[in-house]
């Protein structure tokens, strides 16, 4: 709620609001498409479903001390950030299933937490041990 500390920026906030809310369309599309992928492919891979309720939570709009505009923003942020987090977890589970090899170390790159259990980058012996050497 840092915006409350910045008095006198109402015009700037007004200008940015349509840009922020315009993301709702691609987020809804991503939500639908990710769910189709999740419900179709995970059973084919034998992967357990990711529980949506653990990632998407919309509850702050129930706070009586918030204005209508703040409640609307809280609904939007709860949905948008929850869906992105949910889809990110689905993508992480997919990456673990299909790849499971760390990226090459690059300055400034922040690897996702799930990469911690991946095989080291460019470690052929570790890969062959994991996969079983095939001839």
- Give yes or no: residues 122 and 89 share one domain: no
The pLDDT tens digits of the residues spanning 91-123 come to 999 999 999 999 999 999 999 999 999 999 999
Judgement on whether residues 71 and 114 belong to the same structural domain of the protein:
no
Q: Determine what percent of the chain is predicted with pLDDT higher than 70.
A: 97
The boundaries of the domain holding residue 113 are 102-135
Number of structural domains found in the chain = 2
Q: With bands split at pLDDT 50, 70 and 90, how would you rate the model's confidence at 133?
A: low
8, 31, 52, 130 from 37: Cα distances, Å:
45, 10, 14, 27
The pLDDT value given to residue 105 = 92
- Rounded to whole angstroms, how far apart are CA atoms 83 and 37? 14
Q: How much is the CA Rg of the chain, to the nearest whole Å?
A: 20
Average pLDDT, the chain: 92
Are 58 and 17 in the same domain?
yes
Please check the confidence at residue 131 and state whether its pLDDT lies above 90.
no
**Strand, coil or helix: 108:** coil
Answer whether 0.75 is exceeded by the pTM.
yes
Query: Is residue 56 located within the same domain as residue 43?
Result: yes
Same domain? For 93 and 129 the reply is: no
Domain check: are 15 and 60 in the same one?
yes
Q: What's the pLDDT score for residue 112?
A: 93
pLDDT higher than threshold 70 for residue 135:
no
């Amino acid at each position: 709620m840092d915006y409350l500390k910045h008095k006198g920026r109402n015009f700037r906030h007004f200008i940015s609001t349509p840009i922020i809310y315009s993301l709702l369309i691609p987020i809804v599309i991503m939500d639908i498409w990710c769910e189709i992928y999740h419900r179709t492919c995970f059973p084919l891979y034998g992967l357990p479903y990711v529980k949506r309720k653990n990632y998407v939570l919309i509850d702050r709009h129930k706070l009586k001390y918030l204005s209508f505009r703040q409640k609307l923003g809280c609904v939007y942020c709860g949905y948008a950030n929850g869906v992105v987090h949910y889809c990110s977890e689905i993508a992480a589970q997919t990456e673990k299933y299909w790849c499971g090899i760390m990226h090459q170390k690059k300055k400034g790159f922040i690897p996702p937490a799930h990469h911690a259990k991946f095989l080291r980058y460019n470690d052929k012996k570790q890969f062959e041990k994991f996969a079983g050497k095939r001839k």
